[in-house]
Structure 1
Amino acid sequence: MKQPNFDVIARSYRWLEYLSLGMSLERCRFHFLPQTHSCRYALVLGDGDGRFTAKLLAANPGIEVDAIDISQTMLALLRQRSEQASDRLHTHHADARTFPYGSEGKSYDLVVTHFFLDCLTQPELEQLIGCIAPVLAPEAFWLISDFHIPRGPMRLLARAYVRSLYFAFRMLTGLETAQLPDYFTPITEHGFARIASHYSLAGLLGTEVWQRRADNLSPRRSHQIS
């Protein structure tokens, strides 16, 4: 299993984002941040330079975060951004595809994958969701932000843009994934329901809140995320 090298773009990652789509990706990540105030144990995968995780820790003084990233430099940037909450942040330099979830006996009520699942192949994504699901609380939330191929006149332009992104990341980092995987099917099969969503740039960017269904409990009523 080849590991891409994101260290090479870590320090310029923020500015590469801004040059490509301005503040759109950042706004996408932060859109549902205010609704995570009730969460206490978060698992954050591949947060890049840590902008979301730092804001999560600042906005929710009662939360603890396990952050997993394949890039040492990305994790170093995250720790710098989260210095005032270092006692609630636990970083793991590891490949999320092979991380031993559940080895510490933790139960998470929040999973965050902002622009991370698109780095996985379909089999890798399905395996990852299957490994994470057993270590989640009965009504856990899962925040997902990612690129989408919308219907309508933007479809061809979106396809071309996403292909160009994959090509750029292949050249810069060695990322082998070449197309957006389907996370809707496997996350639904593991008992999650989408309870809120927000899309921008004519549907190219989307951020969604999924919640694990509990017996005889509607996901929309268990917590006030909307």
Structure 2
Amino acid sequence: MLTQPSFDLIARPYRWLEYLTLGRALEHCRLHFLPNLLQQRRALILGDGDGRFLAELLTQNPHLHADAVDTSATMLQLLRQRCEALAPNVSKRFTTHQTSALTCPTDGPYDLVVTHFFLDCLTQPDLETLIHHIAPNLSSEALWLISDFHIPSGLMRLPAKILVRSLYLAFRILTNLRTTKLPNHATPLKQAGLTRIARQHLLAGLLVTELWQFHSAAR
């Protein structure tokens, strides 16, 4: 059996490693659709790392309650610290779960799922397992926000492929991540009854952020 990846080693320097690699591009990608999430009430946040997105979401949407799932104890510790530094009693509005997203207990129905730069850590079979695990716990018209790396067409295709392969190699060395290529999330999401309603590319198509909406009748 292969050792599961561990992100504890890179948890504390992760923010600065991200800034050194791509500046604030990933941050802008995560926050692009934040204004569209101010009416949501129950969120499932998968692999938010050190909690920069969840902290902003809880600040902008004071009525939201969230479950934050991560396998890294250190990442969850940083997430809690970041969120609790925002305002008194904010800790009552989120719960952390140190477990795999593929098997995490769900306390839905959720009207929001967030996976920022998380699906790219999964193999195609694991991604499909995740979607099948989460979809039955979505409320009607729920949103699923995804940010990820993307291989564009045209002149940026080769540089993007080289960068993505380099990042996978780095994460394999630092975390033991065994995934080697970007999975296809669109097909299984559509099969689960979700429709893409918005999309934005950044860095000439290297990054993409998408909003998907669930329609229970389409399942």
Normalised TM-score (structure 1): 0.92
1:87 aligns to 2:89 (yes or no) = no
**Which aligned pairs between 1:60-209 and structure 2 lie closer than 5 A?**
60-83=61-84, 84=87, 85-101=90-106, 104=107, 106-209=108-211
1:213, CA displacement in angstroms? 2.2
Identity, in percent, stands at: 61
Please give the alpha-carbon distance, in whole angstroms, between the structure 1 residues aligned to 2:95 and 2:105. 15
1:214, CA displacement in angstroms? 4.8
Aligned residue number for residue 221 of structure 1:
none
Corresponding letter in the other structure for 2:73 = Q
Please give the alpha-carbon distance, in whole angstroms, between the structure 2 residues aligned to 1:121 and 1:98. 15
Please give the alpha-carbon distance, in whole angstroms, between the structure 2 residues aligned to 1:141 and 1:35. 9
Please give the alpha-carbon distance, in whole angstroms, between the structure 2 residues aligned to 1:25 and 1:71. 20
Corresponding letter in the other structure for 2:25 = S
Aligned residue number for residue 214 of structure 2:
212
Aligned residue number for residue 39 of structure 2:
38
Corresponding letter in the other structure for 1:121 = T
Corresponding letter in the other structure for 1:9 = I
Corresponding letter in the other structure for 1:59 = Q
1:98, CA displacement in angstroms? 2.1
Change in CA separation of 1:140 and 1:2 when aligned onto 2, cut-off 3 Å: farther
Please give the alpha-carbon distance, in whole angstroms, between the structure 1 residues aligned to 2:36 and 2:102. 28
1:2, CA displacement in angstroms? 3.6
Aligned residue number for residue 26 of structure 2:
25
Corresponding letter in the other structure for 1:18 = Y
**Structure 2: unaligned runs, 5 residues or longer:** none
- Contact 2:103-2:133 at 8 Å conserved across structures: no
* RMSD, aligned α-carbons: 1.2
1:5 aligns to 2:10 (yes or no) = no
Describe the superposition over 1:66-95 as per-residue Cα deviations: whole angstroms up to 9, x where unpaired. 000010111011111111311101000111
1:195, CA displacement in angstroms? 0.5
- Contact 2:67-2:96 at 8 Å conserved across structures: yes
Please give the alpha-carbon distance, in whole angstroms, between the structure 1 residues aligned to 2:55 and 2:99. 19
Please give the alpha-carbon distance, in whole angstroms, between the structure 2 residues aligned to 1:44 and 1:3. 20
1:160, CA displacement in angstroms? 0.4
1:215, CA displacement in angstroms? 4.5
Corresponding letter in the other structure for 1:97 = L
Describe the superposition over 1:188-212 as per-residue Cα deviations: whole angstroms up to 9, x where unpaired. 1111111011101110000000001
Please give the alpha-carbon distance, in whole angstroms, between the structure 2 residues aligned to 1:64 and 1:2. 33
How many residues get paired? 213
Aligned residue number for residue 51 of structure 1:
52
